[in-house]
Amino acid sequence: MQIHSRPVRLARTAATVMVLLPFTSSLAAQRPSPHCAVLCAPTVDLMPALLRSHLFGGPRVQALASGAVHRLPGVSNFEIIMATAAKTRLPRLSVFGSVQWIPNATEQRNPFTMYSAGDLGGPVHANAPTATFGLSASALTPQETGGWFDAALNAADLLSQAARPDDRSAYTHKLDLELFTHLHAFAHLPSNTYIHRVSVFGILDYVASGLPRAGDQVPIGRRYLDSARPTSLIVGLALPITPEVK
């Protein structure tokens, strides 16, 4: 039963640390306040989004029992991100952290009990949360784009479900690289309204390590003929929770 509780403990730990660390936001584009110490005041955003996996096509996999080969399709899922961010004393550099949850994704079997969807008489939800922590470098600021958008390059540690056949933990660390942008579509509305602070965001996400490679069997009985295609696109709304920092 210990393996059942490990992801829960990891998820709780990630959620706790997430509150203390930051996620990329438009605040990264501003100069640090002279009153900041190492980190400035963090912000917290709720970010409902649509995630599209295998953006440039999925890998080919082979069922060893039948020899049949097919390509893993791209899949769209609703994703909920709870994110926090803070500027540092270094211009254009922020630190960030987030917890992601895909409530409706499905998989063939429960990864912990190993019972299949057929055994259980219904779909198995692949809804274990993941966490991301890292650094963000601002490439374009709202001031440089007339207040319309910003862009940043992120490098992060993604803690997510094991994906390699030799992984010895339920969750593993992966290198995650992102191009992150906000479209400040409502910034020109009255500044005393909440909608003024809402933005549309997009993330081009590339998981650079920790995913299946050609020859891997994941799960047992299915061999990857190509390495996993790790690029995905996430688009949604950034809804601020913390008060606006002046």
Residue 245 lies in a domain: no
Type and span of the H or E element at 8:
helix 2-20
Residue 172 lies in a domain: yes
In the chain, the number of structural domains is: 1
Residue 246 lies in a domain: no
User: What is the model's pTM?
Assistant: 0.81
DSSP 8-state assignment for residue 13: H
Rg of the chain over all Cα atoms, to the nearest angstrom: 20
Nearest-CA neighbor of 140 among 26, 11, 238? 26
Q: What is the pLDDT of residues 118-177, one digit of tens each?
A: 666 777 777 789 999 999 999 999 999 999 999 999 999 999 999 999 999 989 999 999
Residue 33 CB partners (closer than 8 Å, separation 6+) = 40
Q: What is the pLDDT of residues 68-107, one digit of tens each?
A: 999 988 889 899 999 999 999 999 999 999 999 988 877 7
Q: How many C-beta atoms lie closer than 10 Å to residue 36's C-beta?
A: 14
Residue 41 lies in a domain: yes
Range of the domain at 211: 2-240
Residue 185 lies in a domain: yes
Alpha-carbon torsion (155, 160, 165, 170), positive or negative:
positive
